[in-house]
Amino acid sequence: MTLIKSISGIRGTIGGQVGDNLTPIDAVKFASAYGVWVKQQRQKDNYKVVVGRDARISGKMIQNLVMNTLIGLGIDVVDVGLSTTPTVEVAVPMEHADGGIILTASHNPKQWNALKLLNSKGEFVDAKSGAEILEIAESNSIDFADVDSLGVITKNKAYIDLHIIEVLDLDLVNVKAIEEANFTVVFDGVNSTGGIAIPLLLERLGVNVIKLYCEPNGHFPHNPEPLKEHLTDLSEAVKKHNADFGIVVDPDVDRLAFMDENGEMFGEEYTLVACADYVLSHTPGNTVSNMSSTRALRDVTEKHGGTYEASAVGEVNVVQLMKKNKVVIGGEGNGGIIYPDAHYGRDALVGVALFLSLLAEKKMSVSALKKTYPSYFMSKKKIELTPELNVDAILKEIENRYKHEQLTTIDGVKIDFPDNWVHLRKSNTEPIIRIYTEAKTQEIADGLADKFIKELGKIAEA
């Protein structure tokens, strides 16, 4: 397995050969490069980096390697321990730190881990900074601190609570209405740090919480990507307990999905649609999502008098376009809510609070809410990459074949047909080609995806 180095961080599987996987040596190598980069950004006497992790089995090992590498460079470390990606993002500016690292492979299975790298604003480093860090990593010219200049590690376990306080203080979080609604929900924490943070938030909002897989031990009870096929236990629990709805997050709590009172998926694509509908109803403005996200966000934005624009896939790209367009809410169709009034990062805690506020004010069920939105259906499929596949050449051939259609090529190839679309791109987080389609029915969306999978196969064989 080749290490994946992208705008989504340094990601790989644990064990195996150095340079091919995320081994201890690779963790030290890239933590060192990041530490050097941090020191290059600000010429001063003292440096500080916040480090946290999800509950992956390998997390403690990788975190200790990373923290001790940083103090070896003379950088002080704030160890927030078991945390969430958005919590570490919030902690960086609170600590007046120079950066942050989250040890998490997000939705990937348990054998994966990654270093997600933040700048001094608590936002993911951009492509230029990422390239600089990779260049430093390969330079073999890293100077470590002498014995009198080593950094120190300070533990601070308060940041999940502080993060929750910040969420509750947001103007559009209607705490009173949520409390009065007396919701009962089932929450699936996939045995990671969402099992710590989300129940605390829900309890502070007066929600009755039925916990499912909330022990943060890293033994994921199902595939941790919050998709319908992985959530049968949540569906059964919602129906068994007559809950108002279900909630699920991924292991690092930056993706959020809901399940209605009938145990049916609200649709992770519609997490952002619903939250945007709520925010836009109170704060008119514009929106951004990535180009693999549903058209429903565009429709809802235009209904409220705003404009919508799509970015390349990747949180960094979404955030950059959000800032450029001065949007009031944005994110990704994978259930990632980015609400600038909180911070520029995908945040499931913020998403939960906004969604609950919407439901409480509308006084309707989750299934009824879904019916108020434009109905689109997505298919999300993938092709495993092999060394002989020339992805760039394959996508170029697709581009040539469909040059008379509406094309976008800022990130792979997206073809916008009149009634549906297909997006083909190499993943930032896995060795795969992603094939995303959207249409007016699930059958058409699936058929469109299968058509392009066959076409990609024929091109590869040619």
Residues serving a catalytic function are 106
Coil vs helix vs strand at 191: coil
Alpha carbons 287 and 301: distance in angstroms, whole number: 7
Query: Quick one: which H or E segment has residue 401?
Result: helix 391-401
Query: Quick one: which H or E segment has residue 6?
Result: strand 4-6
DSSP state, 144?
A: P
Query: Quick one: which of 438, 444, 445, 92 has its CA closest to 290?
Result: 438
∠ Cα 28 429 381 (to 5°): 160
Q: How many CA atoms lie within 13 A of 376 on its CB side?
A: 24
Walk across the sheet containing 256-259 and list its strands: 208-212, 184-188, 245-249, 256-259
- Identity of residue 329: I
Phi, then psi, of 187 in degrees rounded to 5:
-120, 125
Query: Quick one: which H or E segment has residue 316?
Result: helix 315-325
Alpha carbons 124 and 108: distance in angstroms, whole number: 19
Alpha carbons 188 and 341: distance in angstroms, whole number: 27
Nearest 10 degrees: CA dihedral of 126, 160, 111, 7?
-10
